[in-house]
């Protein structure tokens, strides 16, 4: 479920990186951005659970 990448946004992402950035740094930035976009899409579509429900499922304190 990848979102469509806009070329200009990809250029801006690269331009914001430090001069000594590696391919691994770039891939991490892309991964984080995609994870955030997916999370926002899930939230907007109502595909999330309240943190209390998840904590209770795993026996974690609130």
Per residue in 23-55, pLDDT (tens digit) is 999 999 999 999 999 999 999 999 999 999 999
The full length of the chain comes to 62
Residue 3, pLDDT score: 65
What pLDDT shows up at residue 5? 73
d(CA 37, CA 60): 27
Chain-centre distance of CA 58, in angstroms?
A: 24
In this prediction, residue 4 carries a pLDDT of 74
**Shortest CA distance to 31 belongs to which of 11, 2, 8, 6?**
2
């Amino acid at each position: 479920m990848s979102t469509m990448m806009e070329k200009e946004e990809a250029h801006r992402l690269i331009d914001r990186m430090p001069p000594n950035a590696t391919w691994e740094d770039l891939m991490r930035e892309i991964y984080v951005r995609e994870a955030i976009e997916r999370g926002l899409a899930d939230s907007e579509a109502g595909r999330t659970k309240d943190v209390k429900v998840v904590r209770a499922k795993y026996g974690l304190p609130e």
